[in-house]
Amino acid sequence: MHGLVLKSTGKWYQVLLDDGQVVQASIRGKLRLEGLKTTNPIAAGDHVLIEHGSDEGWAIISIQARQNYIVRKATNLSKQMQILAANVDRAYLVVTLKSPVTQIAFIDRFLVAAESFRIPTTLLFNKIDLYEKDDQDYFEALKFIYENLGYPCYGITNEDPNSIAFLRTEIAGKQVMISGNSGVGKTTLVNSLDPHLELRTGEISKAHEQGKHTTTFAEMHALSSGGYIIDTPGIRAFGLVDLEKEHYAHYFPEMRALLGECRFNNCKHLNEPHCAVKAAVEEEQIAAHRYQTYLQLMQEDATDPYRRSEF
């Protein structure tokens, strides 16, 4: 029988069956031994085959081929990854310029990961009602940069239905993912998009201006308008996995467009002479913060279990 995974908690999975029934299922042991270096071999959004045994209850017996998926490094595990979501039509990254502040490097890392898995991404700048003039100017500057790279940007306020009206229309009938740091208002946004869900929201820590985690595992919710929305755990850091360093530039659209113009075919865009990417940075055709993120990625040790987790 076919099923759609709504939630993965590591051992048990909530699965929506074709008849509309939601069941708890375990995973067959052999699925754990397929060499997947993940903390969760099955994720929200996965299509699976499931059967009911007389004694064991419901069991997932296989995973159907994924359209795509997006992962991050598992905390303190250098060689394992966590699949955040699978079969995503579009990712929406919620960012805030204050209360709390989303670091720009975090945005860029998320976009690199989404590019590598060919997941189109939209940036939602939340809490624009808190903006002062400097904040508004900064938002406009970032919007100019990211939209020129092909990432739609919107300024929204969760409590203002008009600011998210476009989103209701855009996600209808699709399987989308909402992600971002803790405290940026992901869950509140989901509730605003579909009040029937009534998901629990958290507060902002006064001491560090960070969000308190309210979502422990990624969970997919059916929308009244049709389709599904995946609410992911609040992410404080985003480590990239399964990407070769020599390919990082391919996932920066502004660098990808210049790859054939460097003198050397194997140019890493670091210290090589006649590098088109470095020239574009110097001429401000590539944003300095984007190139800085690229340098950080190139310099990181992927095997270091104590790598930086904050940006």
Mean pLDDT of the chain: 85
Q: At 79, is the pLDDT very low, low, confident or very high (cuts 50, 70, 90)?
A: low
- Identity of the highest mean pLDDT range in 34-48, 68-82, 216-230: 216-230
Using alpha carbons, list the distances in angstroms from residue 251 to 119, 245, 248. Answer: 11, 11, 6
pLDDT given at position 306: 37
Rounded to whole angstroms, the Cα distance separating 201 from 193 reads 14
pLDDT given at position 219: 87
Q: Which residue has the tokens 């624009």?
A: 128
User: Apex CA 252: angle with CA 122 and CA 250, to 5°?
Assistant: 125
**Contact (CB, 8 A) for 191 and 161:** no
pLDDT given at position 206: 42
pLDDT given at position 75: 59
pLDDT given at position 303: 53
Burial class (CB in 10 A: 0-12, 13-18, 19+), 107: buried
Q: At 232, is the pLDDT very low, low, confident or very high (cuts 50, 70, 90)?
A: confident
Rounded to whole angstroms, the Cα distance separating 272 from 14 reads 51
pLDDT given at position 145: 98
- 222 beta partners: 228
Give the sign of the dihedral formed by CA 37, CA 43, CA 45, CA 46.
positive
Q: What is the pTM of this model?
A: 0.86
Q: Mind listing the pLDDT tens digit for each residue in 156-172? A: 998 898 999 999 999 99
The arithmetic mean of pLDDT across residues 18-32, rounded, is 83
Peptide bond into 100 cis (omega under 30): yes
Rounded to whole angstroms, the Cα distance separating 229 from 84 reads 13
* Helix or strand (DSSP H, E) at 137: helix 133-148
Quick one: DSSP state of residue 204? B
The arithmetic mean of pLDDT across residues 286-301, rounded, is 93
pLDDT given at position 208: 37
Q: Is 274 left (phi over 0), alpha (psi -120 to 50) or beta?
A: left
Give the sign of the dihedral formed by CA 26, CA 32, CA 38, CA 42.
negative
Q: Which residues of 39-50 are buried (b: 16+ CB within 10 A; e: fewer)?
A: ebbbbbbbbbeb
Set out the domains of the chain in order of their start, with CATH numbers: 2-63 (2.40.50.140), 69-231 (3.40.50.300), 245-299 (1.10.40.50)
Q: Residue 282 in 3-state DSSP?
A: helix
Q: Which residue has the higher pLDDT, 54 or 193?
A: 193
Quick one: DSSP state of residue 126? -
pLDDT above 70 for 237: no
Looking at residue 80, its amino acid is: Q
